[in-house]
Amino acid sequence: MESVLKVGAAKADITPERPCELSGFAARVQPSMGVHDPVWARALVFEGEGRRAALLACDLLGFEPEADARIRERLCREVGLEGVLLTCTHAHSCPASMNLHGCGSQDDAWMEELESTLLAVTRQAASDLAPVSARFTRTEARVGMNRRVPAGSGVERISARRDVPEGSESGVYDPDLTVLRFMDEKGQGKATLLNHACHPVSLGSEWRTVSCDFPGVAVRALERAHERAGFGLPLFVQGACGDINPDLERRGWAECERIGMEVAKAARAALGDSGSAGNAGQEISLSAPRYAERLVKLPYRNNAGEIEVTLSALAIGDAAFVTLPGEAFCTQGLEIRRRSPYPCTILAAYSNGNVGYLPTREAYPLGGYEVDSAHRYYGYPECVAPEAGELGVETALELLSELNSQTAQERGVTNETR
């Protein structure tokens, strides 16, 4: 029987051709001094029963909400999409794609070029549509650690394992790596999506060349293995890593490469690393894409106002994607996956704009960087209020439930027709 879902995949180099400011560290000396490894935009387009939607994963820190909304609206209008999930890996050594105070300023001319490239790569993916099947697996990639470590009556943010005080234990860490693989009618890989939660900060503020950090290492490793194992186009979707850093002794390329290769190794083992990987993982049913989004107003702490954000969800059968607009904490990602009605749920953080940290309510009494000072880099008057993270989680779950109900109704009608 012909698949009800078609998928197209494409990638495009988005590396600036001139020196640029890099985003992510206040202590970094600007501008960039070259390109260590290029940065990319990778697009998946989903089509079925007259509906079409897209997922774009960019090797960037994030977009400002206004720019993100403009790009997504243009993509929908010009490519004929019902919706777009525009997400970023949040790598801290990529060209500045948003203006953070003291942490890199964007090049407006390059941003215009970037928008045109995102349109082109989405169109390319839409021209590559073919029927697919899908399998997913959930394995572990133990490459991260919770960076909030108890210190007195509060917490301290650590950047490396050696900074953890003896006898201290950090908070919750989610080692899960979700791998979703799309295959064409011949069983060859069309695309392989990796979803894991870990801050791409294995390269520190002293690093001054463009790099995708460890997600780029992982993706390139799968690209090199594609001819033998048939992974198709690999792409990395960042999870809820607001309080998760790489577990390393010191920042630098050697550790960055080690961590990226560990992620790739875990994915390849889960998929089956010899010959065709077509039978590895759990086969899932697919259906035509369904998309939903919702505007939500997140309040700032101390009655300092609010910020409007957009959350989106995209379902394609037993797999669904849902977004959060910034730096969600690890436990929020775990909560969404635990309560989701979909067997394969992929949380795409840093999507539909990056509005900074969304701490858990439990984090506020402890304070720390994410609660007390990070909002200043984003130019906000205050951190979001303690209920903001919960509002984001509940909205994400409501969107997933809404799409699941629509799909169930659709399947019921189809079964009655048969």
DSSP string, 183-201: E-TTS-EEEEEEEE-----
Question: Rounded to 10 degrees, what is the CA torsion of 318, 324, 326, 332?
Answer: -80
Between CA 300 and CA 357 the distance in angstroms is 11
Q: Looking at residues 92-114, what average pLDDT do you find?
A: 95
pLDDT at 274: 46
> What single DSSP character describes residue 300?
B
Averaged confidence pLDDT in the chain: 92
The rounded distance, in Å, linking the Cα atoms of 78 and 123 is: 9
Q: For 27, list phi and psi in degrees, rounded to 5.
A: -85, -5
| Cα maximum dimension of the chain | 65
Residue-wise pLDDT tens digits, 244-294: 999 998 899 999 999 999 999 999 998 876 444 456 778 999 999 999 999
Q: Residue 273's pLDDT is what?
A: 60
Handedness of CA 375, 376, 378, 379 (dihedral sign): positive
Beta-carbon count within 10 A of 417 CB: 6
pTM higher than 0.75: yes
Minimum mean pLDDT range among 79-88, 135-144, 213-222, 277-286? 277-286
**What span, in angstroms and rounded, lies between the C-alpha atoms of 22 and 177?**
28
Q: What integer pLDDT is reported at residue 107 of this predicted model?
A: 95
When pLDDT is averaged across residues 105-112 and rounded to a whole number, the result is 95
Q: For residues 21 and 112, is the Cβ–Cβ distance under 8 A?
A: no
What pLDDT was estimated at residue 417?
44
Kindly report, residue by residue over 215-253, the tens digit of the pLDDT: 999 999 999 876 665 789 999 999 999 999 999 988 999
